């Protein structure tokens, strides 16, 4: 019942007033981008970042594992090695950025003997870059959100259907000029999930353009994975719709691909999108088209409120090619095919009793 949800929310507030909504988590993709294969070798005791990170005066670089590791910070006026301002001495706890600039990190075991493995180096760099105290944050004190949470809880009734909604996050890690924005986006998605958990919502939904879709397929898949890892923290069902950026056809259409026109091997088709995203969330509660279970459209019922929430796939295009060139690119072509229309009319909108309502989520009003 809704009162139970409110009670859980109030109990959560009582027990976590001094805690954080967001747990310590690593940014695997960011670490992976910083430590490319050219950055160091696994036979080395030092790992050097390959990316210039834009930072602001006063931001805090903190190494959580200061027992085994130490780091240096190189400050640069631009993203060029020739613009070097200073390289610090070895740091073991915290470094405060003295002014706006770009920085690179050099990480080492304290003994300067023990080899730094790839995974360990990435893991430690996650923590270095996961503890900004200003714009980019990985921890949000729960008290920062309780005013909003209280207002929402006060409005709830036994018949309320409470959900949180996010759209068009366009997460992308490959473009280093977007590094700050990528961290900001993934943190905001994490905020979104954790506030949703604090509210004990009935569901959360992301209505498409989860990622930006402007890179090669492996990067695109990794970006989807990063966002799914955050959304998996949701305690409520997660409803996802596919946006026109989510199949990577922006890249494949020739906007960013090499050769000039991409192929079917450059995109995530409907079934692959389902397998990488939707299937990880509450499939036991979702009602799919039995004749097209991976089609990206489905519904979920909330019996107490008599509300059916329907997710429509407006990127329902055939993934076919002529002379190795795709016939349709979801980036530019939207549509719903007859199979989905028949399911929508004859199944999703067919109720066994009167008094039910529905919400339909579809991404393209928000492009």
Residues 6+ apart with CB under 8 A from 290: none
Residue 338's pLDDT is: 95
Residue 117's pLDDT is: 56
The model's pTM: 0.63
Residue 301's pLDDT is: 96
Rounded Cα distance between 73 and 296, Å, is: 46
What φ, ψ does residue 336 adopt, rounded to 5°?
-125, 120
What φ, ψ does residue 267 adopt, rounded to 5°?
-125, 160
At residue 361, the 3 state secondary structure works out as strand
Q: Is 169 exposed, middle or buried (0-12, 13-18, 19+ CB in 10 A)?
A: buried
Residue 206's pLDDT is: 94
C-alpha distances out from residue 289 to 124, 135, 269, 293, 345, Å? 45, 43, 18, 5, 12
Answer positive or negative: Cα dihedral of 299, 301, 302, 306. Answer: positive
Decide if 243 contacts 209 (C-beta within 8 A). Answer: yes
Rounded Cα distance between 352 and 240, Å, is: 26
pLDDT tens-digit profile, the chain (367 residues) = 444 554 554 444 444 333 333 222 222 233 333 333 333 333 355 656 656 777 778 877 766 556 677 888 888 888 777 888 888 888 887 888 898 888 777 777 777 776 665 445 544 554 454 433 322 233 334 445 566 667 777 777 778 899 989 988 888 876 544 555 677 788 788 888 888 888 889 999 999 999 988 878 888 888 898 899 889 989 999 999 999 899 988 888 775 545 555 678 888 999 999 999 998 887 789 999 999 999 999 999 999 899 999 999 999 989 988 877 788 888 888 889 999 999 999 999 999 999 999 999 987 654 3
């Amino acid at each position: 019942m809704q009162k139970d949800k409110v009670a859980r929310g109030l109990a959560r507030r009582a027990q976590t007033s001094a805690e954080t909504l967001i747990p310590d988590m690593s940014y695997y993709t960011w670490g992976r981008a910083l430590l490319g294969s050219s950055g160091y070798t696994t036979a080395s005791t030092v790992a050097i970042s390959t990316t210039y990170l834009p930072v602001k005066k006063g931001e805090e670089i903190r190494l959580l594992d200061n027992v085994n590791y130490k780091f240096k910070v190189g400050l640069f006026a631009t993203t060029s090695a020739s613009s070097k301002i200073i390289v610090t001495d070895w740091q073991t706890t915290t470094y405060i950025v003295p002014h706006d600039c770009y920085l690179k990190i050099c990480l080492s075991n304290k003994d300067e003997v023990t080899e730094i493995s790839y995974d360990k180096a990435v893991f430690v760099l996650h923590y270095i870059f996961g503890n900004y105290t200003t714009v980019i944050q990985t921890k949000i004190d729960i008290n920062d959100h309780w005013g909003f949470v209280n207002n929402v809880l006060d409005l709830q009734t036994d018949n309320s259907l409470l959900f949180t909604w996010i759209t068009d996050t366009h997460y992308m890690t490959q473009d280093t000029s977007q590094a700050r924005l990528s961290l900001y986006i993934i943190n905001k998605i994490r905020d979104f999930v954790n506030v949703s958990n604090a509210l004990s919502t009935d569901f959360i939904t992301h209505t498409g353009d989860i990622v930006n879709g402007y890179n090669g397929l492996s990067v695109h898949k990794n970006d989807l994975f990063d966002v799914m890892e955050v959304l998996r923290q949701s305690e409520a069902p997660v409803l996802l719709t596919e946006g026109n950026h989510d199949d990577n056809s922006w890249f494949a259409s020739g906007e960013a691909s090499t050769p000039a026109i991409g192929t079917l091997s450059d995109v995530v088709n409907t079934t692959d999108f389902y397998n990488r995203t939707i299937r990880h969330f509450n499939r036991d509660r979702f009602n799919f088209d039995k004749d097209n279970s991976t089609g990206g459209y489905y519904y979920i019922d909330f019996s107490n409120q008599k509300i059916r929430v329907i997710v429509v796939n407006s990127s329902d295009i055939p993934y076919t090619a002529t002379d190795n060139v795709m016939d349709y690119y979801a980036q530019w072509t939207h549509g719903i095919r007859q199979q989905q229309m028949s399911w929508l009319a004859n199944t999703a909108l067919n109720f066994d009793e009167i008094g039910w309502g529905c919400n339909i989520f579809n991404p393209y009003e928000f492009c």
